[in-house]
Amino acid sequence: MSYFQNSIDFIREKFASNEFIPLHAPVFSGNEKKYVLDTLDSTFVSSVGAYVDQAEQVMAQISQTQKAVAVVNGTSGLQIALQLAGVQRGDEVITQALTFVATANAIHYTGAEPIFIDVDLDTMGLSPKAVEEFLQEFGEKRENGTYNKKTGKRIAACVPMHTFGFPVHLEALLRVCEEWNIPIVEDAAESLGSYYKGKHTGSFGKLGVFSFNGNKIVTCGGGGMIVTQDEELGQLGKHLTTTAKVPHPYEYVHDQVGYNFRMPNLNAALICAQLEQLEMFLANKRALAIEYATFFEGQGMKFRKELEHTKANYWLMCIELENSKERNAFLKLSNENKVMTRPIWQLMYRLSMYQHCYRDAQKNAEYLEERIVNIPSSVRG
């Protein structure tokens, strides 16, 4: 298939390399070393320090929220966000099966169980229409929330994930969840720098959670951030993630079961330097996305682009192939040629620990699973 080889050659040209091309490599071109060395000199390398406070303030500004809480990683942040939203052991949480496993795992950590609802083809994220259809069939409104008529369990939250940085249809999803009194917790792990109708992802739900993992647009090796418009709820999140320790000059008093999910100041120094470059990173990636879109259109292949009224961060760029056979052939050829590509995640209900969970028909999710391939998306020098 000559157009596969043409694609590989084009990617090499865009990254000006004959060596191995990774999917998404970190770029440290700013104040990273300076801030990390400053942290070492201060000796405040653990969970207390000026850079932790600065990172939280900057992320609240970027995400257009009232409070941000720095955590050790996005998964832990999502777990706490679900707890803050009121999810309890024995509850159910609506989410999508087309996601990274951390989404389902975070739900499981709270003692709740995921309900897997289909995605939309255009966003690759949770479908408001599919959520509404599920609730109309199985939902039952009670004084203390919405319950699943089939299982008798409370449906305590809804977790959309903005796949590869493409925002879900947020207005429609908010409308459905408000009607059924179900709080939204946005898994915005992949969508730092993405907007829906001018508002940043993560700012629409009761809470939102971002990731700073090593393959994200900005990184501190790990790390994550919980954001919310409810400052009081955010303060509780800070308390819970810092072992629920009551402030005191020297006594160790903890007023509830908390978690040691604090972001160390050392990591916070790194993310502060990375966030200073966020706009540059986003512009660089957008320029690559434009070049990809033009090229793949000429090859008769579908390059995934942002929708009207949205602004995607183009975290991981992707193409849609004709079928699973072509997908597999492209994956094999590109990786053999040291151009890293990968398929979309295996759907959550195919994993042994989530096979028992409810799922709807998943027509769109399975369609995308067979066709989507991520291509190199790093910021270029």
In a domain, 343, yes or no: yes
Which domain-ending residue is among 259, 275, 291?
Answer: 275
| pLDDT, position 381 | 86
How large is the average pLDDT for residues 71-87? 98
How large is the average pLDDT for residues 320-341? 97
Residue 1 corresponds to which amino acid? M
**Do residues 265 and 283 both lie within one domain?**
no
In a domain, 287, yes or no: yes
**By C-alpha distance, which of 15, 24, 13, 19 is closest to 211?**
24
| pLDDT, position 50 | 95
The CA distance from 295 to 130, in Å, is 34
Which domain-ending residue is among 275, 307, 330?
Answer: 275
| pLDDT, position 86 | 98
What is each CA distance from 254 to 1, 12, 258, 264, in whole angstroms?
63, 55, 8, 20
| pLDDT, position 48 | 86
In a domain, 80, yes or no: yes
8 alpha-carbon distance from chain centroid: 28
pLDDT digits (tens, 9 = 90+) for 199-232: 999 999 999 999 999 999 999 999 999 999 999 9
Contact 166, 196 (CB under 8 A): no
**Do residues 208 and 134 both lie within one domain?**
yes
**Do residues 190 and 83 both lie within one domain?**
yes
- Residue 19 confidence (pLDDT) above 70: yes
| pLDDT, position 46 | 86
| pLDDT, position 215 | 96
Whole-number average pLDDT of the chain: 97
**Do residues 254 and 330 both lie within one domain?**
no
| pLDDT, position 261 | 98
| pLDDT, position 300 | 86
CATH of the domain at 173: 3.40.640.10
Residue 144 corresponds to which amino acid? N
pLDDT digits (tens, 9 = 90+) for 268-315: 999 999 999 999 999 999 999 999 999 999 998 999 999 999 999 999
In a domain, 113, yes or no: yes
How large is the average pLDDT for residues 21-25? 98
**Do residues 172 and 154 both lie within one domain?**
yes
In a domain, 330, yes or no: yes
Which domain-ending residue is among 275, 305, 333?
Answer: 275
**Do residues 212 and 355 both lie within one domain?**
no
Confidence of residue 1 (pLDDT cuts 50, 70, 90): low
**Do residues 140 and 286 both lie within one domain?**
no
Number of structural domains (the chain) is 2
Residue 119 corresponds to which amino acid? V
Helix (H) or strand (E) holding 271: helix 265-275
In a domain, 381, yes or no: no
pLDDT digits (tens, 9 = 90+) for 24-71: 999 999 999 999 999 999 999 988 899 999 999 999 999 999 999 999
In a domain, 380, yes or no: no
| pLDDT, position 2 | 74
In a domain, 37, yes or no: yes
**Do residues 150 and 212 both lie within one domain?**
yes
CATH of the domain at 338: 3.90.1150.10
Helix (H) or strand (E) holding 320: strand 317-320
Long-range Cβ pairs for the range 197-205 (8 Å, 24+): 197/170, 197/171, 197/309, 197/310, 199/64, 200/62, 200/63, 200/64, 200/65, 201/162, 201/167, 201/170, 202/63, 202/65, 202/227, 203/63, 203/64, 203/65, 203/227, 203/229, 204/170, 204/174, 205/174
- Residue 182 confidence (pLDDT) above 90: yes
The CA distance from 344 to 320, in Å, is 10
**Do residues 183 and 266 both lie within one domain?**
yes
Q: What are phi and psi of 336, to 5 degrees?
A: -65, -30
- Residue 3 confidence (pLDDT) above 90: no
- Residue 198 confidence (pLDDT) above 90: yes
167 alpha-carbon distance from chain centroid: 10
Instruction: List 242's β-bridge partners, or say none.
Output: 260
Domain that holds residue 17: 2-23+278-375
**Do residues 109 and 227 both lie within one domain?**
yes
The CA distance from 303 to 217, in Å, is 20
**Do residues 96 and 228 both lie within one domain?**
yes
Token pair 């999140």 in the structure block, residue = 237
How large is the average pLDDT for residues 349-372? 98
Work out the percent of the chain whose per-residue pLDDT is above 90. 97
Contact 24, 378 (CB under 8 A): yes
Residue 232 corresponds to which amino acid? E
**Do residues 250 and 337 both lie within one domain?**
no
pLDDT digits (tens, 9 = 90+) for 105-143: 999 999 999 999 999 999 999 999 999 999 999 999 999
The CA distance from 156 to 142, in Å, is 12
pLDDT digits (tens, 9 = 90+) for 168-178: 999 999 999 99
CA dihedral 56, 61, 62, 66 (to 10 degrees): 80
What is each CA distance from 20 to 17, 223, 336, 340, 376, in whole angstroms?
8, 27, 10, 8, 11
